[in-house]
Amino acid sequence: MIVGLVFLVLIVVVIFWVMGMYNGLVGSRNEVKNSWSQIEVQLKRRHDLIPNLVETVKGYMGHERGTLEAVTKARQQAVEVTGSVEERAKVENALSQTLRSLFAVAEAYPDLKANQNFLALQEELTSTENKIGFARQYYNDAVLRLNNRIQMFPSSIIAGMFNFQLETFFQVEAPEDRQVPQVKF
C-alpha cells in the first residue's frame, strides 16, 4: 500500500516535471516567434520609408542613378523575400548596405543635406535602423534561450520527445557585409 502510494506520488511528480519542461519550451518558442514579428514590424517600417527617401534624393542626385537603383532594387528584394531567417537576413543586410552607401554619397550634396524632407527621412531611417538592431538583438537572445533549453539536459529529453527544433540566429554572414562602404568621387 505504501509502496503503491509512493509510486503514485512519483508518477505525479514526473508528470508535473514533464509539463513544466514542456510549457517552458513552448514559452521560449513563442518568445522567438514574437521577437521575429517585432523585427518584421521594423523592417516593414523601413521598407515604407525608402521610396520617400529615394524620391527626395532623386532631384539632387541625378547622376547617382546607380546608387538610387541599387537602393530601390534592394528594397524590392527585401519586400518580396519569403523564406528562412538566413534568407531574410541576407536580403535585409544587403538593403542596409545600400542605404549606407546612399547616405555616404549624399554627404557630397550640401543642398540635399540641408533639405528638411531628407533630414527628416534620414532621421526616421536612422531611428528605424536602431530599432531593427535592438529587435535583432532581442530575437537572438530569445533564440539563444530556446536553443539552450533544447540542447541542455534534462529539457533536451522533453524537447526531443515533442520535436522542438533549434532556431537560427539573425546574423551577418558575408564578410563584405561587415565592411563600411567606401565612397569615391
Closest CA to 111 of 72, 51, 61: 61
Mean of pLDDT values over 78-87: 86
> What pLDDT was estimated at residue 82?
84
Peptide bond before residue 110 is cis, with ω within 30 degrees of 0:
no
What is the pLDDT, as a whole number, of residue 35? 94
Assess whether pLDDT exceeds 70 at residue 72: yes
Task: Tell me the three cell numbers of residue 183.
Answer: 565612397
Global pTM reads 0.76
Residues of the chain with pLDDT > 90, as a percent, come to 41
Q: Per-residue pLDDT tens for 112-128?
A: 777 787 888 888 888 88
Where do the structural domains in the chain lie, given as residue ranges? 18-178
Q: Compute the C-alpha angle 178/176/181, nearest 5°.
A: 75
Alpha helices in the chain (DSSP H): 2-58, 65-80, 85-106, 110-114, 116-151, 155-161
pLDDT of residue 185 exceeding 70: no
What does DSSP assign to residue 152? S
Q: How far apart are CA 85 and CA 96, in angstroms?
A: 16
Average pLDDT, the chain: 85
Q: What type of residue sits at position 53?
A: L
Supply the pLDDT for residue 183: 43
Cis peptide leading into 154, omega within 30 of 0? yes
Question: How much is the pLDDT for 160?
Answer: 94
Cell of 117: 524632407
Residue 109 phi, psi (nearest 5): -120, 95
Contact 172, 178 (CB under 8 A): yes
Geometric angle at alpha carbon 174, from 171 and 148, rounded to 5°: 30
Q: Between these two residues, 142 and 69, which has the higher pLDDT value?
A: 142
Average pLDDT over residues 54-70: 76
Rounded Cα distance between 52 and 25, Å, is 42
* Residue 31, C-alpha cell as written in the block: 518568445
Residues comprising the chain, all counted:
185
One CATH from 1.10.3720.10, 3.40.50.300, 1.20.1440.20, 1.10.10.10 for 18-178: 1.20.1440.20
Q: Answer for the pair 118, 101: CB distance below 8 angstroms, yes or no.
A: no
* Averaged pLDDT for residues 38-60: 85
